[in-house]
Amino acid sequence: MSQQRSVGAILNMLGLLGISLILTVAFFYQLALGELPCPLCLLQRAGFIAIGMGFLFNMRLGERPSHYAIVLLACLVTGFISMRQVSLHLAPGDPGYGSALLGLHFYTWALIAAIGIVCYVALILVLKDVVGERDGVVSLRGPASSAVFAIFALLVAANLLSTVLECGAGQCDDNPVRYLLLK
């Protein structure tokens, strides 16, 4: 099947673009609103990066069950981390951590996104089966996939840099208010 018609390849590219959007929104709140991510928030970002890596591997190396397994396992870990943070803020009167987006905190959105991505992968697999696509070595190349890859790579590098600036080489503060290395 040609790469222009590959349903799986296109949906993997859209999945990676969606992960990049999630990381961009989190970064916007961090940089524009000065909301530094807590340790659990950083773990959730790492989880979304791992999810993105599964989609990226499918785009660049060809679709394989092991790449989808990376996405699904990263969703499980990210979801559990998110559930932990949600459970920390269930007490009556607890304002939660950070500001809300559409009435929900980012850790709640992370849980919703992790569950949604599991459903999205199921949809990809069903659609691939319906159109008769098989996993294989066909990878998605071209300017669109290169742009999506570049955006994701830039976001991964920026998250790594900001985490090092925030935490240094040690443990991050539970409620960070400043970048440790930018005192």
Phi and psi (nearest 5°) for 16?
-65, -35
Q: Residue 108: its pLDDT value, please?
A: 92
**Within a domain: 56:** yes
**Within a domain: 68:** yes
- Higher-confidence position of 166 and 49: 49
* pLDDT, average across residues 30-44: 90
The pLDDT > 90 percentage for the chain reads 51
Query: pLDDT tier at 152 (50, 70, 90 boundaries)?
Result: very high
* pLDDT at 8 > cutoff 90: no
Query: pLDDT tier at 3 (50, 70, 90 boundaries)?
Result: very low
**Within a domain: 21:** yes
CA torsion through residues 39, 42, 46, 48, sign: positive
**Within a domain: 47:** yes
Number of domains within the chain: 1
Per-residue pLDDT of 50-105, as tens digits, reads 999 999 999 988 889 999 999 999 999 999 999 998 988 888 888 777 788 888 88
**Within a domain: 2:** no
* pLDDT at 181 > cutoff 80: no
**Within a domain: 177:** yes
* pLDDT at 25 > cutoff 70: yes
Q: Mean pLDDT of all residues in the chain?
A: 88
State the residue range of the domain holding 154: 7-182
**Within a domain: 1:** no
**Within a domain: 141:** yes
Query: pLDDT tier at 138 (50, 70, 90 boundaries)?
Result: low
CA distances from 127 to 8, 11, 107, 112 (A): 8, 10, 30, 22
Question: Whole-structure pTM over 0.85, yes or no?
Answer: yes
Query: pLDDT tier at 150 (50, 70, 90 boundaries)?
Result: very high
How would you label 85-108 residue by residue, b for 16+ Cβ within 10 Å and e otherwise? bbeeeeeeeeebbbeeeeeebbbb
Contact assessment for residue 142 and residue 61, using Cβ atoms and an 8 Å cutoff: no
Q: Residue 119: its pLDDT value, please?
A: 97
Radius of gyration of the chain from its Cα atoms, rounded to whole angstroms: 18
Query: pLDDT tier at 22 (50, 70, 90 boundaries)?
Result: very high
| Helix residue spans in 33-171 (DSSP H) | 39-61, 65-88, 106-130, 143-167
Per-residue pLDDT of 108-119, as tens digits, reads 999 999 999 999
